[in-house]
Amino acid sequence: MNSFASPQIFTALPFSRTDTGKLPADDLYSRIFDAILEQRIHAASRFTEDSLAQMFSARRSDIRGVLTQLSHQQIIILRTNHRPRVAAPDVEQTRQTLHARRLTEITLVRLACQRPRPQDLKRLHALIDSERQCTARGPAIRLSGEFHLQLAEMAGNAPLAHFLGTLVPLTSLAIAQFDAQAGGDCAWQEHTEIVDAVARGDATAAEMLMTRHLDHLDEKLLNAGSVVSQNRVAG
């Protein structure tokens, strides 16, 4: 595996427990990130490495590793002699992140059209199916982000895929904090259209569909973020 395509960046889907009863590192990351996106751990939460270790039946050293990873992704803020806390991105930070995603993903989706391998398309369709099923129960924020990361891997440009891996988690956090429904409003249908265009090798259509998809996310998320920011100031 290329060194840019680190499993710690791209792994977002949950994995099953091992027989030891302890969570594998990737699984632990997914479960803690899920708890953050589902607001079970939020910006006002008071937690420690010890409390998370008890909550997730994990070793404190493993918890520390996940918190460090989330800190690198700007999801968790770590400061010496302070409790860890969940970040609270503002509208401008989110706007810049979305702009960087747009520039990156337009290039990646065009590259993906040059090499639509059946096994990659199969994985994307399976992910979309999981996203569809999850959306029937509620927002599928993390799964939606995983779709974009999987598509990026398919494109075959490791540096760009790595860069996107630093942007998607922060976008997911903003969706969870501003408006969870912005990440669960039939995004799987738009994802299906994008994959169909990639499968045809139609770069023009794929770019148009990705642009439209990101336009929808921008509009929902930034509008919701403006309301949340105003409420924070008023409060």
Q: Say whether pLDDT at 138 is over 70.
A: yes
Q: Say whether pLDDT at 152 is over 80.
A: yes
Confidence of residue 142 (pLDDT cuts 50, 70, 90): confident
- Range from 23-27, 185-189, 228-232 that averages highest in pLDDT: 185-189
Q: Which domains does the chain have, with CATH numbers?
A: 7-86 (1.10.10.10), 91-234 (1.20.120.530)
**Rounded Cα–Cα distance for residues 23 and 96 (Å):** 34
**Mean of the per-residue pLDDT values of the chain:** 84
β-bridge mates for residue 86, sequence order: 76
Q: Say whether pLDDT at 230 is over 60.
A: no
β-pairing, 76-77 with 85-86? antiparallel
Would you tell me how many other CB atoms lie within 10 Å of the CB of residue 120?
20
First to last CA, the chain: 48
Query: What confidence score (pLDDT) does residue 20 get?
Result: 41
State the average pLDDT over residues 176-188.
69
Q: Say whether pLDDT at 227 is over 90.
A: no
- Over the stretch 77-130, which tens digit does the pLDDT of each residue have? 999 989 999 998 888 999 999 999 999 999 999 999 998 999 999 999 999 999
- Over the stretch 38-85, which tens digit does the pLDDT of each residue have? 889 988 888 999 999 999 999 999 999 999 999 999 999 999 989 999
Q: What is the DSSP string of the chain?
A: --TTS-HHHH--S--PPPTTSSPPHHHHHHHHHHHHHTTSS-TT----HHHHHHHTT--HHHHHHHHHHHHHTTSEE--TTS--EE----HHHHHHHHHHHHHHHHHHHHHHTT---HHHHHHHHHHHHHHHHHHTTS--HHHHHHHHHHHHHHHT-HHHHHHHHHHHHHHHHHHHHH-GGGGSSSHHHHHHHHHHHHHHT-HHHHHHHHHHHHHHHHHHHHHHHHHHHHHHHH-
**Rounded Cα–Cα distance for residues 109 and 97 (Å):** 18
Q: Say whether pLDDT at 11 is over 70.
A: no
